[in-house]
Amino acid sequence: MKFLSLKLLELLPVIGLAAFGGVTRTVAGKARGEAYSLRIAIPEIIIAVFSGLLIHWLTLDIGWSDNLRTATIALSGYSARSVLAIINSLFLNLIKKHPMKG
């Protein structure tokens, strides 16, 4: 249980950055006249956090500076649906090129 708590505490800045990107996107959408309600905002923020976590884990071993990774995580929260579509496409292409054996 302590390990899980420490891991969650470690991921808290990532979750916060990605969520902030999602909130920013929701507010920017409102400025463009898109409908706004908590029923729209909460799922968008959850999707943004998921996107931010994926980008965090994908960029962990690349060796980027903390500043670049921070900006990438925040932007992935802002552009969550597009980021997830790109990751999905890349992942499916990788699976097609290197099928699992067994």
Residues near 52 by beta carbon (within 8 Å), at least 6 away in sequence: 14, 15, 17, 18, 19, 21, 73, 74, 76, 77, 80
Q: Are 25 and 48 in contact (CB under 8 A)?
A: yes
Q: Residue 62: helix, strand or coil by DSSP?
A: coil
Q: What is the pLDDT of residue 102?
A: 60
pLDDT per residue, tens digit, the chain (102 aa), is: 788 888 889 999 999 999 999 999 888 877 677 667 788 889 999 999 999 999 999 999 898 999 999 999 999 999 999 999 999 999 999 888 887 776
Q: Is the pTM higher than 0.75?
A: yes
Task: Give the C-alpha separation, 35 to 78, whole Å.
Answer: 17
Task: Give the C-alpha separation, 29 to 20, whole Å.
Answer: 14
Task: Give the C-alpha separation, 88 to 51, whole Å.
Answer: 11
Task: Give the C-alpha separation, 86 to 80, whole Å.
Answer: 10
- Closest residue by Cα to residue 81 from 39, 50, 41: 50
DSSP code of 28?
Answer: H
